[in-house]
Homo-oligomer: A and B are copies of this chain.
Amino acid sequence: MNMKIKQLDSAQDNFQAQLADLLAWEATNDDQLDLAVRNIISSVRRDGDEALIALSNQFDNTDFTDASSFEIPMAVCHDALANLDDQVRAALELAAERIRTYHGHQLAESWTITDDYGSSLGQQVTPLERVGIYVPGGKASYPSSVLMNALPAQVAGVDEIIMVSPTPSGELNPLVMAAAALAGVSRFFAIGGAQAVAALCYGTATVPKVDKIVGPGNRFVAAAKRQVFGRVGLDMIAGPSEILIIADETVSPQWLAADLFAQAEHDELAQSILISPNPEVLSAVQQALNELIDTMPRQAIIRASIEGRGALIQVASLNEAVELANQIAAEHLELAFKNADQWVSKIRHAGAIFVGGYTPEAFGDYCAGPNHVLPTSGTARFSSPLGVYDFQKRSSVINVSADGAKILADCAGLLADHESLSAHALSARLRKEG
């Protein structure tokens, strides 16, 4: 059955307004949601494990009776890994190995420099001690998300990785447990929602307080993260997932259609956009979408996503397409055209760039190596994929020599005088006496 997908043309007068409309998405500032989440957080701070039990039973339809019922022992996860079908285990291990290798290149090292007066200045890099990983539960409970969240923490050298993931109606996902075992998760709690964020932020008798919480979640999770911002480290707040494809006639329209559908099948709000300077590519893709849709098990979601938020955009040139891509700052950007590798350096804003026809987003979702937790909704303008750098931090190290102190004392003293900070000035100048 034919699909109705928005068709835009950058040559139209009102193109920028149409594009703004297409991209419009804002996390609703929902006062009722905020209040509900504030109450959940307060009750976890006040009642600890008891609140976690009551809230999980209420929202996730579990039947927890005490704290031991929501901790899944890691031995159970290791069993799940051991019992995995060989082929699936090999795939999971290949993915983990590639992710580990890629992320190993992100490790930052400490460094020191010495100035002309023998003072040394440096940066000491250390891993976080304990982090929390939020893995969505239920239908969106993905083993790949476990790998993508936990492995960078493991590579960074984090001491303790605490995973939380709700288990609606108590259903455990063996692949998720296997991935947790494979990725070095230290403890796994079957809790989710705002209550899990609160538990990780403040700690309960059972759930240890962590230094940072990463991983995407639903709107309750997003609201809870916003409320604890500043108290605990956070990654980002995820919006709906998106793909932007720039294509020419050298890549199969069927491949492109499948890539658009792969994005769309996540969620009705997911966004799939394809841009081409070649109108024939756009109509061939439109046709491929029509042909393919009926074969898709998740066609209802795909149709809602493509018809609601998808678009095919005609542009004048590849140059214009790249300009648009930089304006949109997509989470996933496919450069599916000839000599695409020569265009990568022109991309200023994108979460991940998939270069050439043999690089569908799906490879990056699972096993290419780079992370699949990426900045959405244009936030690639200022943020990065989840990485090892999210699990390391830096301390400045300053070691001034007696000679160096004489120079710095005058400089700091004078500037402190002009900021009317006399104790600063005194503290600096006393070092000349040494």
A: residues with CB less than 8 A from B are 26-27, 87-88, 91-92, 94-95, 98, 101-102, 105-106, 111, 113, 115, 119, 121, 123-124, 126, 128-129, 139, 142-144, 175, 211-212, 222, 226, 229-233, 236-237, 252, 254-255, 258-259, 261-262, 264-266, 296-298, 302, 340-341, 344-345, 347-371, 374, 379-385, 387, 389, 393-402, 404-405, 407-412, 414-416, 418-428, 430-431, 434
Q: Is the CB of B366 within 8 A of A416?
A: yes
A162 → chain B closest CB, angstroms: 14
Q: Is the CB of B367 within 8 A of A412?
A: yes
Nearest-neighbor residue (CB-CB) of A414 within chain B: B91
Q: This chain: how many copies in the complex?
A: 2
Assembly CA distance A211 to B383 (angstroms):
9
Dominant secondary structure at the A interface = mixed
Chain B residues near A352 (CB-CB < 8 A): 395-398
Q: Is the CB of A344 within 8 A of B124?
A: yes
Chain B residues near A232 (CB-CB < 8 A): 382
Contact of A124 among B345, B400, B425 (CB under 8 A): B345
Assembly CA distance A370 to B398 (angstroms):
8
Q: Is the CB of A359 within 8 A of B399?
A: yes
Chain B residues near A98 (CB-CB < 8 A): 115
Chain B residues near A383 (CB-CB < 8 A): 233, 393
State whether A423 and B258 are in contact (beta carbons under 8 Å apart), knowing that A91-B414, A400-B363 are contacts in the complex. Answer: yes
Q: Is the CB of A91 within 8 A of B360?
A: no
A179 → chain B closest CB, angstroms: 10
Q: Can you give 12 A-B contacts (C-beta < 8 A)? A: A27-B231, A105-B123, A124-B345, A128-B381, A143-B419, A229-B237, A255-B427, A265-B424, A359-B405, A364-B398, A365-B416, A368-B408
Chain B residues near A347 (CB-CB < 8 A): 124, 395
Contact of A404 among B358, B389, B401, B412 (CB under 8 A): B358
- Nearest 10 CB-CB pairs, A to B? A233-B382, A370-B396, A230-B237, A355-B399, A261-B423, A258-B427, A352-B396, A384-B394, A366-B412, A358-B405
A248 → chain B closest CB, angstroms: 16
Q: Is the CB of B430 within 8 A of A258?
A: yes
Q: Is the CB of A359 within 8 A of B259?
A: no
Chain B residues near A344 (CB-CB < 8 A): 124, 397, 399
Chain B residues near A111 (CB-CB < 8 A): 105
